[in-house]
Amino acid sequence: MCRHRGRTAPLGEGATVTSYREEPAGPAQPPAALRKSLGVVDGFAIAASSTAATTSIGIGLGVTATAVGLHLPIIMLLAFLPILGIAGAYSRLNRVEPNMGSGYVWVGRSLSPWLGFLVGWIGIVSTIVFLAYTTTVTGSALLQLAGEAGLHEAAGLRLDPDSTAQSTALGIVVLVAVTFTAVTGLRSAATFQKYLLVFEYAVLLGFCGYGLFAGSQPFSLDWLNPFTIPSFEQLAQGLLLSVFCFWGFESTFSVTEEIRDPQDASKAGLITLFTMLGLFLLGSFAFQRVLSLDELTAHGAQGLTYFGNQLAGQPLAALPLIALTLSAVASLQSGVIPTVRGMFAMGRDRTLGPLWTKVSPRYGTPAAGTVAVGCIAAAIAVLSLVIPKVGDLILASVNAIGVVVSIYYALTALAAAARFRGSFRESWSLAVRAVVLPVTSALVLLALGGYLCWTFATSADHFEVSPDNGWFMLLCPAVILLTGFVAAAWAKWARQSPYFVTGRSVAPDALAEPVPDPV
């Protein structure tokens, strides 16, 4: 068992840090504390930007429609139910142990350090993959915008929004810019996110609200009947794709140590989740009122652009595309922020290297880690050029991320159930909320992910780099999981992290005094 003794030592002008001596393990370089500067609205802005409602509606609805047809509203509603159980688990765990490591910390303590590390690893890798493909999506949206404005004709350029090469090159420029803003401080980043969200939501509400009444496609009760989906495989894939659309609400818990009141993180997460449900249902009904199934599935990454053109002429028709572009930019920035915070939590436990715990004395943020994550995401975006079409890249990425996200959501929910299992002795109603609902949600997500992996494995007889190839679709999540176990073994035996001995993460309030705002 390790015991800690600490003292306060200078870090730099206006900052202090608590140094550690660990017994029997050797000491790690102690990280500085992060600056507490956020409120519930800031947490909502970061979480809402991570879920990227405009991007999910503009791109995700078309992808999901390829699996479930004209059943988008009921699929979104059904996917919300297990996610609500997961959100309850996050909120309850954050109430008793606020920590930017979130699932990594909670699962490691309640279930197993190996599973806890895997949760942290999945969160990191899946978000970096998300950043890589969102980099391409951002570039594609900008190319669409340039095409609508006629810039390609004026400059004599041949722009193709469905080209991963052109889209990735332009998207990397944007990634560099948002990484810089994430370095300079969460307060400025959250303020930037709020302005973007106001514009995005105004455009979404305006166009989707108008589309409900102006659309020519007749409303059908079949849209709300999941039993008319042709097969269980299509239902499972649709649910997993919809779970991916809700993914990101937990980003607010990754900045809980930078929120002035940690309970505000729970409020922001739940507000985000219900806001996303309302927007996804509105978007689902509006898209199906305006577009036929063939139109929904044919336009892919250009779905929101086509939707806007069906409802209005230029220049008003460009507003949804501008909103999509801003949403992609915001999700890039909000993807960088929680990833680096999760790595910060793992770094201070020595399950990852010391690079991730370096805090800028000037900005009070993990600047070095932020830059490193941006560079890794850019490198993966370049590697994704092996898939030439943006639409295919989106499908491959979303399916891979959906499978692993279902695993780490499920493990976090099971950790909550294990931690609060004593609630059965207090109240049955409390036990249902704290144990039964999280376990049920976890089992649903694990069943969906497992079934989809089985269908991937049995749907092909050869390997091919294509989103139509089941073995390729299975390889992506398999690589994420296998590398997680390898990295965990390295952390346990090479780094000799005490996390694998005690199953406990270093408490954030034991590390340092808050870094004051610069004068």
The pLDDT-based confidence of 484 (bands split at 50, 70, 90) is very high
Rounded to an integer, what distance in angstroms lies between the CA atom of residue 335 and that of residue 339? Answer: 6
pTM of the full structure = 0.83
Start-end of H helices in 215-260: 232-246, 251-254
- What is the model's pLDDT at position 276? 94
- The more confident residue out of 59 and 169 is 169
Taking a C-beta distance cutoff of 8 angstroms, is the pair 467, 473 a contact?
yes
- The long-range contacts involving 113-116, CB below 8 angstroms and separated by at least 24 positions, are 113/492, 113/499, 113/500, 113/503, 114/485, 114/488, 114/500, 115/411, 116/499, 116/503
Q: Picking from 44-53, 198-207, 486-495, which range would have the lowest pLDDT averaged per residue?
A: 44-53
Query: Is pLDDT at 129 greater than 60 in this prediction?
Result: yes
Rounded to an integer, what distance in angstroms lies between the CA atom of residue 255 and that of residue 42? Answer: 10
Q: Which residues contact 96 (CB under 8 A, 6 or more apart)?
A: 419
Most confident of 133-147, 210-224, 304-318: 210-224
Rounded to an integer, what distance in angstroms lies between the CA atom of residue 438 and that of residue 448? Answer: 15
Rounded to an integer, what distance in angstroms lies between the CA atom of residue 267 and that of residue 255? Answer: 13
Taking a C-beta distance cutoff of 8 angstroms, is the pair 407, 443 a contact?
no
- What is the model's pLDDT at position 459? 87
Query: Is pLDDT at 491 greater than 70 in this prediction?
Result: yes
- What is the model's pLDDT at position 10? 34
Q: Treating both helix axes as pointing N-terminal to C-terminal, what angle do 61-68 and 263-290 enclose, rounded to 10 degrees?
A: 60
pLDDT tens-place string over residues 76-109:
999 999 999 999 999 999 888 888 778 888 999 9
Residue reference for tokens 């034991």: 510
pLDDT tens-place string over residues 414-436:
999 999 998 988 888 899 999 99
The pLDDT-based confidence of 263 (bands split at 50, 70, 90) is confident
Query: Is pLDDT at 1 greater than 50 in this prediction?
Result: no
| Domain coordinates in residue numbering, the chain | 38-497
Say if residue 315 is preceded by a cis peptide, omega within 30 of 0.
yes
Domain 38-497, classified CATH 3.40.980.10, yes or no: no
- What is the model's pLDDT at position 20? 33
Rounded to an integer, what distance in angstroms lies between the CA atom of residue 380 and that of residue 128? Answer: 8
Looking at this protein, which amino acid is placed at residue 510?
A
- What is the model's pLDDT at position 503? 65
Say if residue 10 is preceded by a cis peptide, omega within 30 of 0.
no
Query: Is pLDDT at 64 greater than 50 in this prediction?
Result: yes
- Rounded to an integer, the average pLDDT of 249-272 is 81
- What is the model's pLDDT at position 402? 83
